[in-house]
Amino acid sequence: MRKKRISPTKIIACGFLGVIAVGTILLILPVSHTGRTRIGFVDALFTAVSAVCVTGLNTLDPGWDFSTFGHAVIALLIQVGGLGITSLGAGLVALLGGKLNQRENNLVREALNYPTFKDVLPLIRAVLAVTFSTELIGAVLAFFTFVHEYPFGEAVWVSVFHSVASFNNAGFDIFGGGVSLTGYADNGWMNFTTTFLVIAGGFGFFATRDIFDYLRSLVRLYRLKKAGEVSKRKLYEEKPRLTLHTKVVLMMTAVLYLGGGVLLKLTEGDNITWMGALFSSMTARTAGFTTFAFTEFSMAGVIVMCILMFIGANPGSTGGGMKTTTMFVLIKSLISTATGKEAVAFGKKIKDDALHKAFVIISLGLCWVIFASFLLTMLEPQLSLSEVLFETVSAVATVGLSMDVTPTLGTLSKLIIIVTMYIGRLGPLTIATMWVTPQKGISRPEEEIPIG
């Protein structure tokens, strides 16, 4: 009898559950607590899920309620959650000089949402190199701020934790008091450091590698041209070109960052600075840090933040959300349907399968937001609809921003947010199709149905 193989998506889903279980056990241990607050199973589970799903929502105060050991556990969970357990495992194999078999290649490809089976191991090496080098740079940059506020050793640890949380778009902080970065609202260096780390982590490893390869090829061609070893015709033929994915990522990152900042400045007026508006626009892209209290935002500002959170970061990154390319493809699909023309971007036709997938992902995400919000409004009648929607969108997009709602939630509401964060980390489409076995060779009769 042939043994049935477990699909890569199920292995990844179970892997995350295993890491969450270990993290919960470690966070329940007395050595993880400061003794300020009694930490029960649900709160430890909530913190572990929030860390592994790189969200940043908290029912407790990480800075005051968890010890240095607890902070180290949270940082490790964030790192594992941001990179993925399969990526770290494959990275260890790569560092030891080993090779991946076809099944392991498929597992890593599924975990990173990588489009091909080609060059998986080199990609993993590049991912780990970019991650740890960027986090090191970020820690050094952050240290220049924290060294003025903490003893040397503590400043080093706070810098490392902040760098890991920022690059992985987790939104955790260990400052205490639930203040996040509100104390650094006017600190340009801290705003720059955090923005650099968040955008670097949320930009996407595929796009980053494509840009590096593009620049490297340009330099090589320039040297050949300067040495007179290549003709103009060959220079044109071999000229490197960015992929469609990278072009979309660059455009959407700029549009959402700058456009979101302008909209927030327009909606909030003098209540927020330009630096604060741009930072809020950036952090809504699944980062979870804040320099301004969202409880003071207007309803228009809350709507802008919810839209930015729902869209999220780029594919193949540490960030969450429905992804920028998904929204881009959906918009192109709507334009194509309205005009009767092909969906085209940068001179290339977008595949019909991508159009369909984008529609399904956005639809499933919205359906879960509505469903979870409905449950929360029943369980937490004291909360306004805007507070509930903000919390739910933040959870499903693994952002971590809150209107000071999370600590007030009841046990059932916390469990709903836990499930929402888990769904958001794995992806609504992955969850929906994980237990479905594709049926091949079955074709049903077609029949027209009126639409619209």
CA atoms of 116 and 71, how far apart (whole Å) = 37
Structure tokens that stand for 184 in this block: 């650094």
Whether 101 has a pLDDT exceeding 80, the answer reads no
Buried b (16+ CB within 10 A) or exposed e, 283-305: bbbbbbbbbbebeebeeebbbbb
364 and 428 in contact (C-beta within 8 Å)? yes
Average pLDDT (425-448) is 70
Angle at the Cα of 431 (from 427 to 435), degrees rounded to 5? 155
Rounded to whole angstroms, how far apart are CA atoms 165 and 54? 8
The predicted-structure confidence for 249-305, as pLDDT tens digits, reads as follows: 999 999 999 999 999 999 999 889 999 999 999 999 888 888 888 888 999 999 999
230 pLDDT higher than 80: no
pLDDT at res. 83:
79
For strand 348-349 and strand 344-345, is the pairing parallel, antiparallel, or unpaired? Answer: antiparallel
Tell me, what amino acid is at 352?
D
- Which of 109-113, 243-247, 287-291, 376-380 is predicted with the least confidence, judged by mean pLDDT? 109-113
The rounded mean pLDDT for the chain is 85
SS3 242: coil
Percentage of the chain with pLDDT > 90? 51
- Read off the pTM: 0.88
Q: What pLDDT shows up at residue 35?
A: 87
Angstrom distance (rounded) from CA 249 to CA 268: 28
pLDDT the model gives residue 4: 57
More confident residue, 260 or 82: 260
More confident residue, 65 or 437: 65
**CB-hemisphere CA count at 13 Å for 334?**
8
pLDDT over 70 (residue 117): no
Cα–Cα distances (Å) from 145 to 151, 192, 197, 223, in that order, read 12, 11, 15, 41
Dihedral over Cα of 150, 155, 161, 166: its sign: positive
The per-residue pLDDT for range 148-159, each reduced to its tens digit, is 999 999 999 999
Radius of gyration for the chain, computed over Cα atoms and rounded to the nearest angstrom: 23
Q: Which residues pair with 181 in a beta bridge?
A: none
CA distances in angstroms from 236 to 216, 231, 435, listed in the order given: 16, 9, 49
**CA–CA gap between residue 109 and residue 55 (Å, rounded):** 23
Return the structure tokens found at 123: 């990609």
Spatial separation of the C-alpha atoms in residues 27 and 43, rounded to whole Å: 9
pLDDT at 341 over 80: yes
| DSSP reduced 3-state for 250 | helix
Distances from the Cα of 297 to the Cα of 244, 245, 257, 313, 384, angstroms: 36, 34, 18, 23, 14
112 has a pLDDT exceeding 80: no
Cα–Cα distance for residue pair 60/178, rounded to 1 Å: 9
CB 289 within 8 A of CB 181: yes
Choice between 86 and 1, residue whose per-residue pLDDT is larger:
86
Residue 1 has pLDDT above 50, yes or no: no
Q: Which segment of 69-73, 352-356, 387-391, 420-424 scores lowest on mean pLDDT? A: 352-356
Q: How much is the pLDDT for 196? A: 92
Residue 3, pLDDT score: 52
pLDDT for 123: 72
pLDDT at 382: 94
Secondary structure class of 322 (helix, strand, coil): coil
Over residues 31-41, mean pLDDT: 91
Mean pLDDT, residues 302-313: 93
In terms of Cα–Cα distance, which of 7, 167, 140, 22 is closest to 83?
A: 167
Spatial distance between the Cα atoms of 161 and 183, rounded to a whole number of angstroms: 17
Contacts of 306-309 spanning 24+ positions with Cβ under 8 A: 306/389, 306/390, 306/393, 308/256, 308/260, 308/281, 308/284, 309/284, 309/285, 309/393, 309/394, 309/397, 309/399, 309/401
